[in-house]
Amino acid sequence: MRDRGSGGLVYSTDSGRTCPTCRQPVAKCTCKTQARAMPKGDGVVRVSRETKGRGGKTVMIVRGLDLEPAALAAIGKQLRTACGAGGTTGDGVLEVQGDHCERVMAWLANDGWVVKRAGG
């Protein structure tokens, strides 16, 4: 049986289900470990200011922190505490309520991140 989307073998009578990318049995697939080893993005944390879709309220958006969800939530908690503001964490993005751009950038730089201001 062939997968028409990727053109790779997806099932073999010898070994069962196979990965369409590396053509190894799913139990021995190396694609996912290689994908995790490669860093996402360019290693720069970008801080931007948004008001769109929030009823005119300003929110600082922090993107580019390539961390596990638990570590991202912990940094988000520390950052919101440092700013004295609320916010949320989700999908690899931190949101801090209010216009705290300089404070957020300084805190991240002191924590060892390469930080850039994004947007206007």
Question: All domains of the chain, ordered by start, with CATH?
Answer: 1-38 (no CATH), 44-117 (3.30.780.10)
Is the pLDDT at 112 greater than 70? The verdict is yes
The secondary element (H helix, E strand) that includes residue 91 is: none
- pTM value is 0.65
Query: Hey, CA dihedral for 114, 61, 57, 97, is it positive or negative?
Result: negative
95 and 60 in contact (C-beta within 8 Å)? yes
H or E segment and range at residue 93: strand 93-97
Higher model confidence: residue 47 or residue 27? 47
Q: Look at residue 105 and tell me whether its pLDDT is greater than 60.
A: yes
Give the confidence band of 1 by pLDDT, cuts at 50, 70, 90.
very low
